[in-house]
Structure 1
Amino acid sequence: MSEVHSRPVAIVTGGSRNIGRAIARALAAGGASIVIVARSDKEAAEAVVRELEAAGVEASFVLADVARESSADIIVDHALQRFGRLDILVNNAAIRREKPVEAMSFAEWHEILGICLDGAFLLSRAAIPHLSAAPAGAIINIGGLTAYTGAPNRAHVVAAKAGLDGLTKALAVELAPRGITVNLVSPGRIGTDRSHAGAEKNPAHHARNVTLSGKEGTAEDVAAMVAYLAGPAARFVTGQTVHVNGGAFLP
């Protein structure tokens, strides 16, 4: 293991593009060193690392499939070997496909739950001992609006994101005695690049979930809330679902 790092260290899964990339930038701006996790796009992960390093931030990346049980230890060990500590875990990795439920295979169902929900469980479990040793350990899960509103052709995505809400509450209660906060940020309609594999170009639920202003949010809007929840000002906030949706859903 490397010498213990002086800056807080954050792991961001799905950190190579869109909301994940914005989260990495926001946490870096707040003083954290960053470990980007991407499933396969090495070029995109390297580009984020170069960007952060150019801004004077220490950063690294690891390619791993968060749905695989063995990946969790690989990712956490990478952070510890590189920086010697772990303070923040952001479970952002997700795939949001659309398909009618009666046409959905079990493999397609499980692929989405594996990445969104199993991955968050596995990473959290591996990270807990190290977050417990941090001065202010934090887990932030990234949910989704359709977990609360429903959506056609997204049974797997809705179930996975709703499961993240439950996992967040359970972990918040269990980990509070160890000084770890656990919260969920639920983005609404956010303008993102949907050109990559696994992204639906025009999700059907977008026509239903309209913001009060009529405008889409940005990845930076979501990232700002994540940075707050990961920071020292939010130590009294845990077990919460924070909606960043422009008023499209009012719980």
Structure 2
Amino acid sequence: MTRPEPAPRLHGRVALVTGASRGIGRATALRLAAEGASVAVNYRAGAAAAGEVVAEIEAGGGKAVAIAADVGDADAARRLIEQAVADLGGLDILVNNAGIARDGLIFNLAPEDWAEVMRTNFGGVFNCTKAAMSHFMAQRDGVIVNVSSVMGEAGWIGESNYAASKAAINSFTRCSALELARFGIRVNAVLPGFTPTDLVAGLVAKDGGRTIKQQIPCREFASPEQVADVVTFLAGPNSAYMTGSLLRVDGGAGAALGLGRPKL
């Protein structure tokens, strides 16, 4: 006797993924759609790439829309939430993924390098969370997944502004989880390690990332799809008793003491 295929875990749910035209955001939008969710694909400048994500979701039988918005702007974030609800008939899942990098030594960083990274990375999380809260609170249901980074828990040369923005996201995740739990809203974060996206291209350009891989127990970078799997787990019913959690997806790098391997 053939067993029936299990129903998609997110059937009937509506998700919004910020920064979904590329990288982890793109992989997450596709993964959520594969699990049955309707997806709002947010982008700031990559209209063509966002349209390709929507087309791929629709080709697989799903429903998706592309919505342009700069999530670092509070009014734009509010309009983004409103349009996602209007276009897809509701909102159940918010994935705060949009982010940028302006790498450089602290001595060389310009004020705008600091301000723009904080405005987009942490400001986008704050703005979209605040904009979605009323909707989630009214329906007493909602899931927020923030895409942070292992950089938020440790340091790396040339990453001070980026690391600080991610550390802010980690603290905000815990605080918002505590405030929103009584409304049936869960808030968690995923902390990817090195993942081959545009944001880390400069860090791996010198030797293809070989030196960094040597410091990762699994000896490989994470793929955007592997991170998207964890985001999707946190967005779905199998993580129903989790809130305020920060999940590392780093190939074991965070378990190591110091750098390199012992000479044994």
The number of equivalent residue pairs is 241
CA distance in 2, matches of 1:158, 1:215: 21
- Over residues 192-211 of structure 1, what are the superposed CA-to-partner deviations in whole Å (9 max), with x where a residue is unaligned? 3x3xxxx4533179645732
- The aligned amino acid for 1:237 is M
8 A Cα contact 2:102 2:113, kept in partner: no
- Over residues 50-74 of structure 1, what are the superposed CA-to-partner deviations in whole Å (9 max), with x where a residue is unaligned? 1101111110011111111111111
Matches within 5 A, 1:14-163: 14-134=19-139, 136-163=141-168
8 A Cα contact 1:139 1:182, kept in partner: yes
Q: Identity of paired residues, percent?
A: 36
Unaligned runs of 5+ in 1: 1-5
Equivalent position of 1:176 in the other structure: 181
CA distance in 1, matches of 2:242, 2:19: 24
RMSD: 1.8
CA distance in 2, matches of 1:51, 1:148: 35
Equivalent position of 2:260 in the other structure: none
Equivalent position of 2:249 in the other structure: 244
Give the drift of 1:135. Answer: 6.5
| Match for residue 18 of structure 2 among 5, 13, 16 | 13
Name the SS of the counterpart of 2:253 in structure 1.
Answer: coil
8 A Cα contact 2:143 2:186, kept in partner: yes
CA distance in 2, matches of 1:114, 1:147: 16
CA distance in 2, matches of 1:191, 1:204: 9
Give the drift of 1:7. Answer: 1.7
- The aligned amino acid for 1:188 is G
Equivalent position of 2:227 in the other structure: 222
CA distance in 1, matches of 2:13, 2:140: 9
Equivalent position of 1:203 in the other structure: 203
Give the drift of 1:29. Answer: 1.2
Name the SS of the counterpart of 1:169 in structure 2.
Answer: helix
Give the drift of 1:125. Answer: 0.4
8 A Cα contact 1:168 1:239, kept in partner: yes
- With the length of structure 2 as denominator, give the TM-score of the two structures: 0.87
CA distance in 1, matches of 2:201, 2:64: 31
Q: 1:241 to 1:200 in 2, by over 3 A?
A: closer
CA distance in 1, matches of 2:192, 2:90: 29
- Over residues 87-116 of structure 1, what are the superposed CA-to-partner deviations in whole Å (9 max), with x where a residue is unaligned? 000000001221111111111101000110
- The aligned amino acid for 1:90 is V
8 A Cα contact 2:140 2:183, kept in partner: no
8 A Cα contact 1:97 1:200, kept in partner: no
Q: Which has the larger radius of gyration?
A: 2
CA distance in 2, matches of 1:208, 1:189: 8
CA distance in 1, matches of 2:89, 2:62: 16
